[in-house]
Structure 1
Amino acid sequence: MSGGGETGARNLKQRLKTARKRTLSSQKWLERQINDPYVARAKREGYRSRAAYKLIEIDQKYKVLRPGQRIVDLGAAPGGWSQVAARKIGLGEGRGRIVAIDLLPMEPLAGVDFLELDFLDEKAPEILVSRLGGEADLVMSDMAANTTGHKKTDHLRIMGLAEMAADFARQVLAPGGAFLAKVFQGGTEGSLLTALKQDFAQVRHVKPAASRADSAELYVLATGFRGRQDTRAEA
């Protein structure tokens, strides 16, 4: 009989023992990570985070990733979404461009142009379009604000971040482009959806299976960007 099971049990006990020194929220997070099949799968398949499977599942259903696209990945670190996108658009074969941006550093990812930059910087849209070599076909964001433990406050923070990401997307997207971003259920996302419907042909909520069932996390997917209002006015 293999001793792997006993070794695994000892490792698990050791990790949980170490976790006792942590806060309750940190311990719960660690226990979820240990028991999360997507975390184990990401390690086996070489993805940098379990979040990669959220984008994979969204793309399988809605086909948001296509060969040759220009993509902006907001809040990209550690790079799971950029990994998935790079494979789907053919970045390794010289097709498409991905510019990833984050306030945190990110380990280099082949073909991905990474900028340690705040997307709220007034020069960021111009910089991103220049690095892409043109307007974006997709702006995607898996960003989440730091949590406080207060549900209402945390909800407002994530929604504020999503609204700012949407404003950024309007500045860099090409007509027909798409916007994908994390939001939380709770009521205030209605104003974001209303605003997006003015600028995109179709707006929908998406809940991939890789999102934990007990989480209020959702994604908003807006497709068919109609173009910036100033451009439409000129036309």
Structure 2
Amino acid sequence: MGKTPTGKNTTKNTSGRGQRDLKVKVKSARGRKLSSTRWLQRQLNDPYVKRAQAEGYRGRAAFKIMEIDDKYRFLVPGARIVDLGAAPGGWCQVAVKRSNILGEKSGKAKGTILAIDLQEMEPIAGCDIHQLDFMEDDADLKVKEWLGGMADVVMSDMAASSSGHKQTDHNRIIALCEAAAYFAFDVLEEGGTFIAKTLAGGAEGDLQKLLKQRFTKVANFKPPSSRQDSSEKFVVALGFKGPLEEE
């Protein structure tokens, strides 16, 4: 209990009732679109953005791969992992910890992770970073050479540049997922896992059909940390059946 300058007693309200919701508001700036202002305001108030900053992750996407792995368990000690479109590196940071790449879990096998991206990335302890277009003809050979063998996991949080047209963006990301899937077919060990970001929109049928031919289980999952107003989801393909006979 305290006193105001007039001498009246006051009691601090600790219940939370009647208090304003303390959210960051962003003023519109000249030259900035309203949609950009709304995006910035959402970022500043996003609890996952704040949590990523507090815990040292390079983006809120780190929590998506945590939640996917919590459900499907593929980032295990000793796993050999390829992260396509890895920048800025949040997924790699999670994989380093969970796959025991730094050998922090005594008695557990050490994993390996390759981060592949078109752009340069800041170093991550325990992560082998390569600037590479995974669609190049010999990209799979390079990756297997760097790994010293086949991969246990190929994961992708890639998204094509937004056009502003929902169906076009959907078609682009599905095409990107299919390209990543074919890459995975070339580098995955039998029994391996493929994870990729998609957008809901009606063109997933061919991708699902393709994956079901090559994996024993295919599921779609929307992590709790994925924004509810987003059409984003992740396809999870488990139990790679190995190369086809004609391959």
Give TM-score, length-normalised by structure 1: 0.90
Any idea what the Cα deviations from partners look like across 1:173-206, whole Å, max 9, x if unmatched? 0000000000111111111011100000000001
Map of 1:35 onto structure 2? 45
Q: Does the 8 Å contact 2:152/2:191 carry over to 1?
A: yes
Q: Does the 8 Å contact 2:150/2:188 carry over to 1?
A: yes
Map of 1:129 onto structure 2? 144
Which secondary structure does the structure 2 equivalent of 1:104 belong to? coil
Residue 117 (str. 1) matches residue 132 (str. 2): yes
Map of 1:87 onto structure 2? 97
1:72 counterpart (82, 97, 106): 82
Q: Does the 8 Å contact 2:96/2:127 carry over to 1?
A: yes
Map of 2:154 onto structure 1? 139
Q: Does the 8 Å contact 1:204/1:222 carry over to 2?
A: yes
CA separation of 1:67 and 1:23: change in aligned 2, threshold 3 A: same
Which secondary structure does the structure 2 equivalent of 1:82 belong to? helix
Which secondary structure does the structure 1 equivalent of 2:171 belong to? helix
* Greater per-residue helix proportion: 1
How far the C-alpha of 1:79 sits from its partner, in A, is 0.2
Q: Does the 8 Å contact 1:82/1:112 carry over to 2?
A: yes
Number of corresponding residues: 222
2:196 counterpart (170, 181, 200): 181
How far the C-alpha of 1:26 sits from its partner, in A, is 2.0
1:168 counterpart (183, 191, 214): 183
Map of 2:72 onto structure 1? 62
Map of 1:5 onto structure 2? none
- Aligned mates of 2:35, 2:242 — CA distance in 1: 43
CA separation of 1:18 and 1:117: change in aligned 2, threshold 3 A: farther
Q: Does the 8 Å contact 2:57/2:90 carry over to 1?
A: yes
Any idea what the Cα deviations from partners look like across 1:8-60, whole Å, max 9, x if unmatched? x8x945xx236553223322221110111000000001111100000001111
Map of 1:99 onto structure 2? 114
Map of 1:208 onto structure 2? 223
Give TM-score, length-normalised by structure 2: 0.86
Mind listing any 5+ residue stretches in structure 2 that lack a counterpart?
Answer: 3-21, 104-108
Q: Does the 8 Å contact 2:155/2:195 carry over to 1?
A: yes
- Aligned mates of 1:116, 1:18 — CA distance in 2: 37
Map of 2:205 onto structure 1? 190
- Aligned mates of 1:109, 1:174 — CA distance in 2: 25
Map of 2:59 onto structure 1? 49
Aligned partner letter, 1:56:
M
2:173 counterpart (151, 158, 162): 158
Any idea what the Cα deviations from partners look like across 1:141-198, whole Å, max 9, x if unmatched? 0001100111011111111111111011001000000000001111111110111000
Q: Does the 8 Å contact 1:19/1:30 carry over to 2?
A: no
Of the structure 1 ranges 23-32 and 83-92, higher mean CA displacement relative to structure 2 is found in 23-32
Identical amino acids, percent of aligned pairs: 55
Any idea what the Cα deviations from partners look like across 1:66-101, whole Å, max 9, x if unmatched? 100100000000000000001001011171110000
